[in-house]
Structures are given as structure tokens and as C-alpha cells.
Structure 1
Amino acid sequence: MVALLDEQSTPPSLSVSIGQASSAGQKSRNQDFHGALVPDERALSFKGITVALADGISTSEVSSIASQTIVKSLLTDYYSTPDAWTVKTSVSRVISAANAWLYAQNGFAGLYDVDHGHVCTLAAVVFKAHTAHLFHVGDSRIWRLSGQSLEPLTADHHVSLGAGEIVLSKAIGAASHVEIDYMCEPIALGDVFVLTTDGVHEHWHSRAVADVILESPTLEAAAQKILDDALAAGSSDNLTVQIVRIEALPNGDQTQFDMAAKTLPIPPLPREGAVIDGLTILRQLHANHRSHIYLAKTIDGEKVALKIPASDLKDDADGLRRFLMEDWIARRIDNAHVLGAPALIGPRSGLYVVTDFIEGQTLRQWMQDNPKPSFEQVRDILEQVIRGLRAFHRREMLHQDLRPENIMIDTDGVVKIIDFGATYVAGVQEAAPLREEDGILGTLQYTAPEYFSGAPVSWRSDLFSLGVIAYEMLTGTLPYGTQVGKVRNTRDQLRLRYRNARDDAHPMPAWLDDALAKAVNPDPARRHDALSEFGANLRAPSVSYSARRHVPLAERNPERFWKTLCGVLALLSLILATLAFD
């Protein structure tokens, strides 16, 4: 069965008009390179439209390779990055990778002088939903037509060497790492963006260019006119110009998730033996106010879990959106410790989600069966959860509802994170910026205090939830009781007081209690710097703990301390006596 969202008709989408022109000008070859890509509807929704140009430096014979490489990378590799990533993350990764490759080529070819290497400038814009994402390196520029004037949105990366000599301070391929200027701008219907190389904008008058854009019959004609005018004004460099006009914008309440929910009906609750689109219902597994989950089997006999939204959700757009996100997420995270979805093929007659079936028990049931687990049992489970959580975070996702009920342990002892109904996906949220997620989606006892205080959330918020689970596994209680749910502001958040997990009823090393306290610290900045660090601190004292708990030799071994001190004093006396007789 293909992904549910891919089966439905697509919502109203972003549309643009593009005009482009490029010329070698008075030079024998054109080292500029440019391109634009309007993808298919699915990629258009999640990735947007990309427009980019690059300008190879004139002192290099191979800079045209750099220009082509960076633009082609953006127009291809960007669309291969995870849909869950934001535009900023995706494009920055692509640019950094291309920059590293170009820099390496300079080394392989012995081109250690930047002026003769695989070096170019870059100006790129990704139009996604209602936002323009701008990326800039060097002295190519991005402009916006405002009224009848062009306003520059980027600043050249130049350094003056004196005597009128100016050189680039940043360029693609010039160093192993490149700093990318990034900004995002809201867009509206009719907005016009212009990208240019210096061979164009150093030989134009912005007011005249604005008139050309407004008066030309097409953007293609306008681009060519701007290029011709720059040549006539004396430009001796390569010239490239791109013009983009916003023709249509997607409706904020017409995302692919909304359209899928409107296209298919919620099916009636099936009985045992019923068949839904080739899936035979075996029995009901679970039901709550959000959904009904059934064990089913495919035509090939594979067991799967089929989830149908509760009828109460039929008029709840946000609830249905979160329901559909579970299918979307399950098909985009391939990790042994995260619930996946089977690759089935076939049309759907109703609104439901199919995922892998896990034979086992929830962590909650396991905790009830094992009220006094060994440290090693706890570590093994938590380390598997950490591996699953890292798969979320690497895709810019926050689970946001990590609790014992949402962690499964199968019959082989493999731990899997389930239930993605509260998961935040940065790239999807970016694609539907008008949608606001209100309220606390997670379970109060396990939700980080920053959700209640209104402070920024991050992957450390999931770490807090994991820390609470670890604390509960070892003690049977919660580190703050019910106090977290009462937090209303930052002051309340910082007033939370941690209850030591180490006591007579729950003996454990002090350093282990310290690791738990750090994971659930009310201040996110004072939690661990990585999930793997928390995992390591569950097995051995942290460096900071060891430093804080260093006991002087006089306290650890008084007898040895005094013997050593006496020996040192005796040696010192001998040395002084020898010096006195000399």
C-alpha cells in the first residue's frame, strides 16, 4: 500500500513565473551557471521551488566547474534530502557537501592558490509554502521588487585591500568549510525576486531595472533586456539574471494532510473476519478516544496493525492531521527501534493507517512485571530507546509523547518507539506555516517543563521525558511528582526541585542519581549535550561528576597522606642541611 498522502489529490499549490538569461558577454567563455526547478506536486509541497545561480571567478580556468557543480547539486541533491528536514538544514547540508568536494578537487589538482581553483559565488532561493528561503555566498545578489524599486536582500562578501583592490571574503570551494548567509522572507501574491551576478548589477540602475520588469511582456523578455542593457553600459564580465514572480500560493488550511482527510471517509469499525482493502481483521488490540487498533493480516499472511480514527475526530482537523502524520512518519524513519510500516500496494477505500505489528508488551507492562529491575536491564532498554530517538532527531523530529505506554518490547527483547500522533516535524510544519499546534500534546507527567512555561523546545525536551522514564524504572516514582504540570512560566520552571532517586529503598551509586538529575534538569541548557552522553553516564560517572566529587588524599587515606608528607619534609630537610654545610 503506498503512502496514504501520495494516493490523494493534491491541494492548491505554489506557482511561479520564471525568466532567465545568461551570456559570456565580452569574454570567450561563460563561467556563470544557473538553473531553476519546479518539482512534481508531492515534492513541491514538502521541498518547494529552487532557483540558483553561481559566478565562477574570472582568474580561474576551472571555476566554471565549480559553478555547475553547486547549482546542479542544489537542483538534484536538495530534493533527495529527508522531507522532514527544514529548507535551511537541507540546503546547508547540500552546499557544505559540494563545497567540501570542490575544495578537495583543488587539493587533488595542486591548485592551492584560491584565485586559480574551483571557486565560485552563489545566490539561491527556495520558495516553499508562504516563505522564500535565501542562501548567499560571495558577491552575487538577491533582490526584491518593492513598488517601483529594487531592494537588495543580500550583502556582498568583500574585503578591501586598499588602492581600490577588492577581493572576495567568502566563496564556494575556497576553504574546507563555508559560512552561508541565510535568511527567510514571507512572500505574497505578485512578489518579484531577482538574482544577479556582478556582471549585471554593477552596470545597472535599479529604478530602470524595476521599470523593465514591470513593463516587459514576459519575465524572459525582461531578463534579456536587463542583460542587454548591462552589456551596453560597459559590462566586461559574464552576465546572468533570474527573475521569479509569485503567481499562486497554497491555502494554509489545504495541506496534503487536510486533502487526504477530506477525500476518504472514516470506515465503520470492523468485526473479526471482515476484510478491508485486502486486509483481514483478526481481532481488536486497543481502543481509546483517538483511535481503534486492530490486528490484521495481509494476503501474504503477514500480521500488521490497522488503526482507524475514532468517529469523534471526523470534525477535528488537527486531530486528523496528527493521525495522518503517523503514517507519514512511519514510512520515513527506517530504524530497528522505531515502529515502521509495511510496503503494501493497493488503493484505500477509507481513512486508516497500517503499521508493523509488534508482538510483545509495553514498557509500562514490563515495569509492572519487573518492579525491581537490575541496572543492566534498565540500561539495555534505555540505550535502545536512545537509538530510536536519535533517528527522530536526525530528521528534525521531536516525538513529544515519550512515555512507558509508547515504548514496546517485543518477544526478542527489541525495544521500539511507537505512537507518533504528537510528533513535531520541522519540515512539515514549515510546509504548512499557518497551522498552529495548540495545547500540550504529550502526557503531563512525562512532558518537559518548557512546554508549560512557553520556553523554546528542542531535542532536550525528549531527553527530559526519557530521564523521567529512567527515574521511574529505578524508583517507581516521578522526579517531580505532579509539579511539572503546574508550571506556568519560567520562574515556576526553575523552582522545580529534584527528588533524589538514591535512598534506603532504592540503593544506587551516587553518580547514577547524578545522571538522572542532569537528564531531568528543569533548565534544558543544563541537561546532557547529547543522548549518547546520557547513555554513557548511565554506565559510568561523568567527567563533571568525578571532578565535583574528587576527595583529597588526606580524607581518602589519612595514614598515607601523613606518611607522604613526613617523607617530603624529611627530604626537604636533608637538602637544606646539605646546602648549609656547602
Structure 2
Amino acid sequence: MSAFEPGNSLRVSLGQCSKAGRKAVNQDFHGAYVPREPQLSSKGVVVALADGISTSAVSRVASETAVRSFIEDYYCTAESWTVKTAAQRVLMATNAWLHAQTRRSEYRWDKDRGYVCTFTALVLKSRTAHVFHVGDARLYRLQDDNLEPLTREHRAWLEPDRCYLSRAIGIGEQLEIDYLALPVEAGDGFLLVTDGVYEHLSEARMRQLLAEHEADLDAAARALVHAAFEAGSDDNLTAQVVRVEEVPLGDAREAWSGEAELPFPPQLEPRMCLDGYRVVRHLHASARSHAYLAVDEETSHKVVIKTLATELREDPRHVERFLLEEWIAQRIDNPHVVKAHRPGRRRRYLYSVTEYIEGRTLAQWLRDQPRLELETVRRLVEQIARGLRAFHRLEMVHQDLRPHNVMVDATGHVTLIDFGSVRVAGITESRPEQAEEPLGTASYTAPECFLGEPATPRSDLYSLAVIAYQALTGTLPYGTEVAKARNRAAQHRLVYRSALSANRELPAWVDEVLRKALHPQPTRRFEALSELVHELRQPSPVFLKKSRPPLIERNPVLFWKGVAALLSLLVLVLLLE
């Protein structure tokens, strides 16, 4: 069977066969799914195999559940998740369900008779093969006529001829999954087989059968099963054969379902109509894009239309990032994140549309209120953190959190906008990332990004802490020095400026919380946004015990002025004597 999407896409051929063999019931279960675009690019192809254990009468239910739920649920996970995250979460949920079934059944005191099975899956996404394995089935890679095993059996041997499964789906509350990721090329093959096949066929014999039926992979799978049966196998027999016919070239524009092929709109002017939107006025211009206030003529809702800057329209990387903004907005539903506006009308041009937020940017808000009360800053931090957590739950990192990308309305409600720098794990894993300058604004970008390291949720936490520091002091914690520190030695020399030197009314423990959140080393910061939010309201004893820093740290100028005054007085006293 050949399955493919035309154009620059992953294309594979599949062959499968499963027989009960000499047993009355086939407790093996297998499945495969090749989706159409856009899921072919975002989630990939899944091939899965489960093998029930012979001591259990309900193991067939477990193996079927494991395969069906993996395939169905994997494609329901967030497109922004990596393959590893999505697959492991699905398998953990399946394991919990099967284990619970055993606990509620008559087999609760004998796990070997419960809802237990082995599981092996291959996920092919873009140019990478992802392997997930629990139990004693096997997955081989066939490359250049070599058959290489990619999994190992999870068996514990009691005697030379007696063993038991040490790991399986449903056998316990916790599940340990073997994971492997490796690059694939056109022509690579993969073979998934249960122990009823590989224990009775040598690798040389399997290579021979695969070569003989190279043109028909279903026939190859049947030949493997038949040969194992003829060799005396008394177990269930299942084989799946996969061949990668073509891998995508990795052109960024292909991931966006043709939207990148739309022409760019003409220059927008007030009262102009564009696909059912009436332009009201120009809102904002940056090096990357232009934003306009418009009205949806069908609903009378105010929206923001964003177009890509003219000088960037020939650069595929900037086109992809521009398209990614709306893609992200469509997948996050959070009151503190701006929402995409999709009326269902067909577009004739390449642009993005989001809801309109009535209010000011946080940058303007801070200019209007140069130094905020601590309670106001707490509420600000809490709202931004809620928005950031919506990104982090989907394995996204904002990377450009700054006052200009935060809107504050008349009630003080905060909304995050502008996703042009967001890093989406599920997309970046599809192709190698190219080294480039940090995408965020230098003053708010975490130090590790200037070393070429990928941004993480702790990088966003750092940016949020900079905003909190600025809101309380009107200054930046390291000035402009972070962007200049391009190696670890330089970063070790960065000196945190105590917030108390600019805000003497601030409790000393608040400064200690900010100091930790703004540490140049990400591992020395708080692990999660929730910790920062909690510590700003209910500090732990370690921060409360911190004494107020000496005057030389809080206000070096005042300290040295005092020293100079004392010296002057001392000199005057000596002269009078």
C-alpha cells in the first residue's frame, strides 16, 4: 500500500499482516495512519504494534486499546507539541486507564492476568523517525541492506529458558518508555515484528524476504509471518513493513496549507475595503509589520489587520513567521492572549486578523505611571504569567515579552499581543534550527539567548521579571550590559543592580525575589512562573530572612557622598586643632 500527499510532503509505503498462528486467539493488534495535510506535516505518520501476554485472557483488549487510543488520541493533541511530548502523554494516559481496569477487575491481585500488553510505535514526521517502545516486540531499521534493531526487549530472566516482562503497558501505575529519534532519508525502511516472528527468523532470513518482496510490502509482511509459522512459531505473528519513499525538502512555506502563496495586499488606506473589512486608520508600524484598525462589515466588530513589511516579503523565513502569528493565535484560548479573528470568508491576500484591544501598550502605561505600587505590579505580573502559561502548556515560548507587546485596557486587564518571535517546539523539531540573533528585544531578552541557546519557559520568566523590575524602579536590572555579554565569562561578570537603590520603599525580600528571577543562569532562576507569582505575594522564609542590603549596594552614590562628607568633617576638625 502506498500513501502520499502530492508535492513537497512525506511519502511512505506500508505493508501489514497479523495471524493467530497456532493459537486460538490473536492477542496482537496493529494499526497505521497516514493523514492528509495539514496533519501530515504537523503530526506525521503513525505505525503501531501491541502484543498481549499469553497469561491474560483480557490482554487482547489491552493491545487493541493501546493501538487504537494511541493513533486516535495522538492526532488530537496540540499541533504545537513535539512528537515526544504528545506520544508520551497519550501513552501515560492509556497506561493509567488499563492499570485502573485491572485494579477494578477480578485480576487486581495478579497483574500477569490483567489488562497488560507490550507496545511499539514508529512516528515519521518530516525528516525524523521517532520510536516509542515498551515490552518485547522489535523495531528494525533497514538501510543499505542492513537490518539494525532499534529497540531492546524488556525482559527479566529467571533461568536460561524462563523470563517475564519487566516493562509493559498497564502493568503498573508508572510507565517507563524507551524513546529514540533519528534522521531518515528516502529509501529507508522500518520493520516492526512481535516475538512470534523474530524469535524464529534470523536477521539474514528477514532481509532476504524483504528483498524478495520489495515491490509489494503487504506481500513482504505476509511472507515474514508465513516463514515464522513454518519455522515452528507457536505464538501470534504480526509484521509491519514501512518504506520512506520521499521526505519533504523543508521549505517553510509548505506548512501553511497554501496561504503563503497568496499575493500580498496593496498598501492599506483609511476607508479602503479588503475582503469584507473596512480600514479605519493606521495603528502601528515596525520593522516587521504594519497594523491597521478595521471593522468587519458583517459583524461590525473592530479588528486589527496586520501586513508584512514590504522589504521582508521576499524572505521565506519572515513570511513563515508572519503566518505563524495567526496560527498561534488560533490555537490559544486564554483571556490574557489576543484572539485570532476568522470569519470564514475566503481571503484573497496574505495578511492576519486579530481582535482589537481597546487600551494602551504597557510601555505607554508605564510612561504615564512611571513608578507603580507593589500591589499594582503584582496584579500585572499575575495576568502576564497566566497568558505565558497558556503558551508554555502548548510547548511554545514567547521570546519577545516586552512592554510594547502587552496591552492594558481601562480596567487594568492585560492581554499579550504580537507572536512574531514565538518558538513552537512542534514546528522547530521538523527541521534543524539555524543559528540567528535573538528574536526578542535586547533589554528584555534572557542572557542565555545571546549565547545561541534556545529559549525556554525560564527565558520568558526572566523577561517578565525585567518588566516587574522596571515597573517598580523605572530602570533595568543590568542596564544594557546583558546584550553585550556574548560568552559565559562575560555573563558571570554581570552585576545585578539592587531594586532598592531606585525604590527605597520596596521591601528587601521583594528585591531578593527579583534577584533570583533575573539570575543570568536559567537554572538559578525559579523553575516555574507560578513560583515567581507566589513569592511576590507570600515570600518563603529564605527571602524573609535576607537582611536589607548595605547602603553601598542600595545607593552607591549616596554612600560615597556620605564617606566624602565624613572625610571633609574629619579634615576640618584636624585643621581646627
TM above 0.5: yes
Residue 270 of structure 2 is matched in structure 1 by: 272
Distance 1:456 1:189 in 2: 29
**Residue aligned with 1:525, SS:** helix
Shift of 1:479: 0.4
Question: What is aligned with 2:196?
Answer: 199
Structural mapping, 1:68-83, within 5 Å? 68-83=64-79
Structure-2 separation of matches of 1:257 and 1:439: 24
Q: Which residue of 2 aligns with 1:415?
A: 414
**Moved beyond 6 Å, runs of 4+:** none
Q: Which residue of 2 aligns with 1:104?
A: 100
Q: d(CA) in 2 for partners of 1:232 and 1:457?
A: 56
C-alpha separation in 1, matches of 2:258 and 2:405? 26
Label 1:375 to 1:51 Cα distance change in 2 as closer, same or farther (>3 A). Answer: same
- The residue type equivalent to 1:192 in the other structure is G
Partner of residue 567, structure 1 = none
**How far apart are residue 493 of structure 1 and its match?**
1.7
- Distance change in 2, residues 1:456/1:257 (3 Å): closer
SS at structure 2 position matched to 1:282: strand
Offset at residue 457 of structure 1 (A): 3.2
Corresponding residue number in structure 2 for 1:545: 543
Matched-pair contact (CA < 8 Å) for 1:475–1:506: no
Q: Which amino acid aligns with 1:42?
A: P
Q: Which has the higher contact order (CA 8 A, sep 6+)?
A: 1
Helix, strand or coil at the partner of 2:450: helix
Q: Please list the CA deviations of residues 332-386 of structure 1 after superposition, one character each: whole Å capped at 9, or x if unmatched.
A: 0000001111231111111100001000011111111111211111100110000
2:118: which partner in 1? 121
| Structure 1: runs of 5+ lacking an equivalent | 1-8, 551-582
Shift of 1:323: 0.8
Equivalent-residue separation in structure 1 for 2:98 and 2:255 (angstroms):
40
1:22 maps to which of 13, 18, 32: 18
* Matching of residue 44 in structure 1 with residue 43 in structure 2: no
Q: Which of 178, 181, 204 is the aligned partner of 2:178?
A: 181
Which residue in 2 is equivalent to 1:160?
Answer: 157
CA-to-aligned-CA distance 1:59-97 (integer Å, 9 cap, x gap):
000011110111001111000000000000000000000
Residue 36 of structure 1: how far off its partner (Å):
0.2
Q: State which drifts further: 105-114 or 13-22.
A: 105-114
Q: Secondary structure at the match of 1:280?
A: strand
The answer on whether the counterparts of 2:387 and 2:415 sit within 8 Å (CA) in structure 1 is yes
Q: 2-side partners of 1:436 and 1:276: how far apart?
A: 36
SS of equivalent to 1:30 = coil
Aligned residue runs from structure 1 range 26-425, under 5 A: 26-111=22-107, 112-162=109-159, 164-216=161-213, 217-257=215-255, 260=258, 262-298=260-296, 299-425=298-424
Determine helix, strand or coil for the equivalent of 2:32: strand
In the alignment, which residue of structure 1 is the partner of 2:480? 482
1:506 and 1:167 map into 2 onto residues whose CA distance is: 67
The amino acid across from 1:75 in the alignment is I
Matching of residues 418-433 of structure 1 within 5 Å: 418-431=417-430, 433=431
| 1:509 and 2:507 aligned | yes
Cα deviation digits, residues 272-327 of structure 1 (max 9, x gap): 11110011111111112211111111121011100011111111211111111101
Query: What SS does the aligned partner of 1:512 have?
Result: helix
**Residue type matched to 1:54 in 2?**
A
CA shift, 1:540, in A, is 2.2
Q: 1:412 corresponds to which letter in structure 2?
A: T
Distance in 2 separating the partners of 1:300 and 1:58: 62
CA offset at residue 451 of structure 1? 0.8
The whole-number CA distance in structure 2 between the counterparts of 1:269 and 1:355 is 19
What's the secondary structure of 2:331's corresponding residue? coil
Alpha-carbon spacing, 1:493–1:266, altered in 2? closer, same or farther (3 Å): same
CA offsets 1:19-62 (integer angstroms, 9 cap, x no match): 00001110000000000000111100100000000000000000
Describe the shift of the 1:361–1:302 C-alpha distance in structure 2 as closer, same or farther (beyond 3 A): same
SS in 1 for 2:264: coil
Give the SS at the match of 1:99: helix
**For residue 492 of structure 1, what is the aligned residue in structure 2?**
490
Aligned partner of residue 449 in structure 2, secondary structure: helix
Cα separation, 2, equivalents of 1:416 and 1:457: 21
C-alpha distance 288-456 of structure 1, shift in aligned 2 (>3 A): closer
- Tell me how far apart the structure 2 counterparts of residues 282 and 453 of structure 1 sit (CA, whole Å): 43
State whether residues 15 and 246 of structure 1, in contact with CA within 8 Å, keep that contact through their aligned partners in structure 2: yes
TM-score relative to the length of structure 2: 0.91
* Distance change in 2, residues 1:503/1:220 (3 Å): same
Contact 1:455 1:490 survives alignment (8 Å) = no
CA contact 1:141–1:155 (8 Å) conserved in 2: yes
Q: Deviations over 1:433-457 (max 9, x none)?
A: 0452621110000000101123453
1:304 match: secondary structure:
strand
Residue 10 of structure 1, CA deviation: 8.2
Give 3-state SS (helix, strand or coil) of 1:41's partner: coil
For 1:492 and 1:10, locate their aligned partners in 2 and report how far apart those are by CA, in whole Å.
50
Task: Flag the 1:233–1:544 CA change in 2: closer, same or farther, 3 A.
Answer: farther
Q: Distance in 1 between matches of 2:125 and 2:344?
A: 30
Give the TM-score taking structure 1 as reference length: 0.91
Query: What's the CA shift string for 1:103-126, capped at 9, x where partnerless?
Result: 000011132211100000011000
Distance 1:10 1:375, change over 3 A: farther
Q: 2:519 aligns with which of 518, 521, 530?
A: 521
Q: Secondary structure of 2:381's match? A: helix
Q: Report deviation, 1:541.
A: 1.8
Provide the C-alpha distance between the structure 1 equivalents of 2:186 and 2:115, rounded to a whole number of angstroms: 38
Is there any run of 5+ residues in structure 2 with no aligned partner, and where? Answer: 549-577
Change in Cα spacing, 1:64 to 1:84, as seen in structure 2 (3 Å) is same
Code of the aligned partner of 1:189 = A
SS for the counterpart of 2:421 is: coil
1:544 deviates by 2.9
The answer for the alignment partner of 1:558 in structure 2 is none
